[in-house]
Amino acid sequence: MTEYFLKNRISAIMLCASLLTAGIVSMFRLPVSLLPGVECPALSVVIEYPGVAPDKIESLITRPVERVIKTVNGISEIESVSEEGKSRINITFRSGTDIKIASVKVRGKIALVRDEFPREVQEPLVMRYDPSERPVIVVAAEMTGADRNGVREIMETRVKPVLQRIDGIAEIIIAGGELREIHIETDRSNIEGRGIAAADISGAVNSGNINLPAGTVAAAEGNSLLYIPSGYRSLSEISDTIINSSDGKSVRVNDLAVVRFGARERADYSRYNGMDMVTLFIHKGGDFNTLALCRDVRQALASFTDVRWNFIYDQGEHIESAVDNALRSAMWGIVIVILVLSFFFRRSETVLPVAISIPV
**pLDDT mean over 244-255:** 71
**pLDDT mean over 228-233:** 70
Banded pLDDT at 240 (limits 50, 70, 90): confident
Helix (H) or strand (E) holding 249: none
As a whole number, the mean pLDDT across the chain is 80
Question: Among positive and negative, which fits the CA dihedral 133, 134, 135, 137?
Answer: negative
**Total number of residues shown for the chain:** 360
- Answer with the residue of higher pLDDT: 43 or 262: 43
The confidence score (pLDDT) of residue 37 equals: 57
DSSP string, 94-130: PTT--HHHHHHHHHHHHHHHHTTS-TTPPPPEEEE--
- The pTM assigned to this predicted structure is 0.58
The runs of H, that is alpha helices, within 186-272 are 188-193, 198-207, 235-239, 253-256
The confidence score (pLDDT) of residue 298 equals: 92
* SS3 at position 313: strand
Banded pLDDT at 299 (limits 50, 70, 90): very high
CATH class for domain 42-128? alpha beta
Res 149 pLDDT > 70: no
CB-based contacts of 40, cutoff 8 Å, min separation 6: 92, 129, 130, 131, 132
The confidence score (pLDDT) of residue 68 equals: 92
Q: Domain coordinates of the chain in residue numbers? A: 42-128, 180-263
Paired strand residues for 250: 244
- Answer with the residue of higher pLDDT: 148 or 166: 166
Res 136 pLDDT > 70: yes
**pLDDT mean over 44-61:** 87
The runs of H, that is alpha helices, within the chain are 2-7, 9-29, 54-57, 63-69, 99-114, 148-154, 160-164, 188-193, 198-207, 235-239, 253-256, 290-302, 315-345, 348-357
- Answer with the residue of higher pLDDT: 76 or 41: 76
Res 158 pLDDT > 60: yes
Res 133 pLDDT > 70: no
* CATH 3.30.2090.10 fits domain 180-263: yes
Banded pLDDT at 301 (limits 50, 70, 90): very high
Q: What is the pLDDT of residues 177-213, one digit of tens each?
A: 777 778 887 777 777 777 777 777 777 777 777 766 6
The confidence score (pLDDT) of residue 300 equals: 93
The confidence score (pLDDT) of residue 110 equals: 92
CA distance 197 to 89: 44
* SS3 at position 229: strand
